[in-house]
Structure 1
Amino acid sequence: MTGPDRRRGLRTAIAALVAPEIRAWNGERPLPVVFWLYGVAASVVLGTLYATSVFLEQHRLEQGLLLLFAAYSIWLPVSIWRSALRSTSPWAVPARWLSLAWGANAFLLLGFRQLDLIARCLAG
């Protein structure tokens, strides 16, 4: 396989891998899937990984997880909001408001955790 063919194949594989997340971003996934699977379950996994990195004092991993969590905290509320707009569930409006609360909380949490990480790295 030549260079351009290999890159094309890699792009195709990545596109197929993240297709469900792109559909969620566009509001094309069911609200329960986006809220419970991508929201609640994924948050538990990310939170556990982050807490483990703090406990083990793995500052590079912690910084990487903060960056991942920042991207996730943009993607998730938008995905929930858009999925809720297409949903007929009575939970659609509370889900939209919870997505706003998530975004605000995540912004504050990320800011304070980043400041704490900087302080710990500077302290040695």
Structure 2
Amino acid sequence: MTDRTEPLDTAGETLPLPDALLAPLAAPAPLAPLAPEAPLAPEPAIATPVLRPRTRWAGIVWGLVLAAVAGAGIWLASGDGRIAELAAWVQELSPATAVGYGILIIGGLLLVTGLVGLLRRAQRAVAARAGA
């Protein structure tokens, strides 16, 4: 069974489309011109300040943090025996010390997030002061 949508004749050939379908569409009637109304008054010119693109502080700060983490990872992987020393150090950690380091890492991430928030707030304050 074929999956065609065109009509087929008995010889398996497609049938020609009716001439009415092939005729070009009639052009629509032209629109009547609008009746003139009261002349439009020119809109008053409003002085809008030219806005500069904002500095994306979150991208800059998080980029620096991730670059520092990547640098530490490269330093760790490039030395002879550094990974083995790190594995031995991790195995010797007590559970309380491991939790303490985890809390320290989370605190560092919150510190970076707060720093980004402060930078954004200062940026908005400067923009509001310049706009006023």
For this structure pair, what is the TM-score category when the shorter chain's length is used for normalisation? 0.3 to 0.5
Q: Name which one, 1 or 2, has greater alpha-carbon Rg.
A: 2
Please, what TM-score do these two structures have when normalized by structure 2? 0.31
Higher relative contact order (CA 8 A, sep 6+): 1
Report the TM-score, using the length of structure 1 for normalisation.
0.32
